[in-house]
Amino acid sequence: MKSNEIQVLEPLKKREKGDRGLLINEWEKLTAPSNRRLTHQNLRFLFSLSWSIDRITIVGNLKEFEFDHTFVTEDGEIFYRAGEKFTLNQAMPLLASEEAAERAGNGWRLLDKYGENIAYVETLPFKDPTTGKEKGRIDFNPNKIETFLKTDLKSFISMMFDNPHFSRADVACDILDLPDDYVSQYRLVDAVSFRPYYGQNGALETAYWGARSSERQVRMYNKKLEQEKHRQIVPEEVQSWWRLELQLRRAKADEWSGVVNETLDSFYSPFYFPSDISFREKAILRGLHADHSLWSEASDNTKRKYRKLSKRIAKEDELTQHLKSSFSENIDTLKRELETWLGAMKVNEEEE
């Protein structure tokens, strides 16, 4: 197998030592049968929705490391004795010497035994104001960590942090097999800012609502297109693939389930209008939908009226209601996923 080729294994098959780039089949959930149906322009579409925790960030005071074995150079020189104390910056080169880490910018990538990236760690540029201790963070995508690796990563986090806390969680929903032009015209009515990015053909590729530094930022993007740009394998049966992703920081990360429901309450499209909405109201709402900057020119009363109207439309929108019901069906699974990483390690869900 060439180094730049990727092969996909059956779901239960494991990689052998040295098979870097050989992936466990991560598409099984995406291609699973679905009985969800949506009617659009008198056509009925079979589609599927899949919720997951897409990213976790943990921050805390850094402990000193202590390894249970001695590190020896190729020349036989001992450069670490079992039981000695090391800081994170001192310890990572030791892990790198065993091909368990590699330098990445200001921090380090943690690698599994196949050389695949499983997490990013770094020492933060500021110290804890109370204790004066160094602080660090670790970022990882739990979806990309196979079951047989999770225990090792939990142990590493426990060894790394003193009084860690949960500072970010990304909750994502994959929307599969609905027409691109249907999904791409959805908007969030309660967002202050809206930044769309279009491809050369004029089609929407990515949309952001909210500032990057805010406690909640929402991103909707063409995931299939992104995968193809990065030369990733996408099953032939996946006709379209969009991802709705909520990036939740600090206090919003603690309130993730409520924030998701609140966000979906304002996720709407102009494809459906209740029969009692006037022609004028339809025209204004379509204009606000087409050009988000017009909201800033509207009076406060106009903003209140049309935000309320948009949320009413969202309550009756077919896709929005499917998103809300599927989230309710999966909320216990998502909660268990977070508890696996946070509760088991006694991570405090506090503000950074």
User: In this structure, is residue 76 part of a structural domain?
Assistant: yes
Residue 62 Cα to chain centre, angstroms: 25
Residue 102: strand, helix, or coil = strand
Comparing C-alpha atoms, which of 131, 113, 129, 111 is closest to residue 121? 111
> What pLDDT is recorded for position 100?
85
User: In this structure, is residue 285 part of a structural domain?
Assistant: no
Rg for the chain, CA atoms, rounded: 23
Tell me the residue range of the domain where 141 lies.
23-269+317-341
CB 241 within 8 A of CB 224: yes
CA 6, CA 102: separation in Å to the nearest integer?
A: 21
In the chain, how many domains are there?
1
User: In this structure, is residue 183 part of a structural domain?
Assistant: yes
DSSP label at residue 63: P
Report residues of the chain scoring pLDDT below 70. 1-45, 67, 73, 79-80, 147-151, 342-352
Comparing C-alpha atoms, which of 54, 59, 327, 323 is closest to residue 169? 54
For residue 166, how many other CB atoms are within 10 A of its CB?
23
Structure-token match 């006709």, residue found? 239
User: In this structure, is residue 224 part of a structural domain?
Assistant: yes
For residue 147, how many other CB atoms are within 10 A of its CB?
7
User: In this structure, is residue 1 part of a structural domain?
Assistant: no
Residue 215 Cα to chain centre, angstroms: 14
**From start to end of the chain, where are the E strands?**
7-9, 22-24, 36-40, 43-62, 65-66, 71-72, 78-80, 85-86, 101-104, 107-111, 117-127, 134-140, 161-176, 187-188, 194-198, 204-209, 216-222, 241-249, 267-268
Q: How far is CA 222 from CA 45, 169, 246, 260, 348, in A?
A: 18, 21, 15, 20, 34
> What pLDDT is recorded for position 37?
59
CA 137, CA 351: separation in Å to the nearest integer?
A: 14
> What pLDDT is recorded for position 151?
65
User: In this structure, is residue 15 part of a structural domain?
Assistant: no
User: In this structure, is residue 305 part of a structural domain?
Assistant: no
DSSP label at residue 15: P
User: In this structure, is residue 79 part of a structural domain?
Assistant: yes
Position 98, amino acid: E
